[in-house]
Structures are given as C-alpha cells and as structure tokens.
Amino acid sequence: MESKYLGKIVREPVTELDSFEAPEGVSQVTMTSDELTSSCPITGQPDLYTVSIEYVPNALCIESKSLKLFLWGFADKAMFAEKIAAVICDRVVADIAPKRCKVVTVQKPRGGITIESVAEFPKAEA
C-alpha cells in the first residue's frame, strides 16, 4: 500500500486521509492535536481547538501526516465547533471504515466560554 502523502512534499491541505494496514493486536488508536484552527461563521474571529480522534481499527489505520494536512484545511473554513467534530468523524469513517470512532473537539475559551463537541460512529441512539 503506497502512501499518498508520506515522504512527499505537500504544500496545501488535503481532503482525504491516507491509511495503512492495521497491525495485528491493535485494539484502539487515539490521535490528538492542539493545532486545529477555524473561524467563527458569524464574526470571522479565529477559533482554536484541541481535537482528539479515538477509533477502533477494522483493517486500516490513519497515517498521521495526512491527518495533519487534513486538519490544516479547517484554517480556511468558517464553521461552528459542533460541525467540525461531525465533519472529522465522517471523514475518518469514510476513509478507514473503523469499527468505532469518537471525535472530541474542545474550543479554547473565547468570551469566557469553552465548547466541547463530540461526534461518534456508530451514531449514539437517543
């Protein structure tokens, strides 16, 4: 399985995640970054986030460089915190088809308010 981005020069964000074959015996993977940025769709002010992606691999794992390049793409987007968590979760599910996935975004305080959003697959039943 050849990497789309690893070992290559990439000068712009990507819209899909690269993957590699999940090693035998790996039961869960958690990837965390505090470099996620976006902007408020109402005010245009910058929003800074920590994101945690926890998944149970099926056949594939996320390659970390592609995740960094994918997250970079949010810097030019205006989205509410809740939407970002959902978009990231949907992308992980589309690209690696995990058994389970949970994405948590924590927006750094702005106006004294911190927002934590959770998106899960399979979707939690109400």
CA distance 76 to 101: 25
CA distance 106 to 6: 28
Residues 22/58, Cβ–Cβ less than 8 Å: yes
Could you tell me which residues come within 8 angstroms of residue 27 by beta carbon, excluding any fewer than 6 positions away? 56
Annotated catalytic sites, by residue? Answer: 40, 47
